[in-house]
Amino acid sequence: MASERDFYRTILIVEVLSEDFPYDYCGLNQLSYDASNEYSVSVDVQESKKVSPQLMAHLLEEQGSDPEFFRLNEHGEDISEVEESQFEREAQVERLWNWVSPELKSYSNLIEGLLDVLTTDQLINFVNDRVEHDEDED
């Protein structure tokens, strides 16, 4: 079922007036700096309208973003708790990999194989136990 939340698309027209050469757009941060220092800049709202969740999912993909940005799936449906828990698990695994020392990355095949059967806490305990075991062998 499509999300019941409201989504909006706003299209802006940015006009930059410059001297000596055309403006070379390099991103919003640079434009903001340039607007307050070297260029005359105006911004007008061309269009602002409510869009369906399905269209929002499509627009996000067109921008190179992801529907998950607004917690939608590719069909404009709210991400379920099951899907959300999967995303959270992926985030926990990412944090785990950031925590793992370079020496432990040699166990990457083993760790990746255990991801499907262990919770993140169980995996962290396994890695800690493995480190203690290896230290005892040295």
The alpha helices in 1-117, defined as continuous H runs, are 28-37, 53-62, 81-99, 108-114
Query: What is the predicted pLDDT for the residue at 135?
Result: 63
Confidence (pLDDT) at 129: 73
Q: What is the pLDDT of residues 109-126, one digit of tens each?
A: 666 666 666 666 676 677
Identify the helix (H) or strand (E) that includes residue 64.
none
Q: What angle do CA 37, 39, 45 make, to 5 degrees?
A: 110
Non-local (6+) Cβ contacts of 73 within 8 A are: 57, 67, 79, 83
> What is the pTM for the complete model shown?
0.55
What does the block give as tokens for 11?
A: 């299209």
pLDDT of residue 125: 73
Closest to 97 in 3D by CA, of 83, 107, 88: 107
Kindly list the averaged pLDDT for each block of 10 residues, start to end, along the chain of length 138: 92 95 92 93 96 96 92 88 64 67 65 66 70 65
CA dist 78 and 69 (Å) reads 11
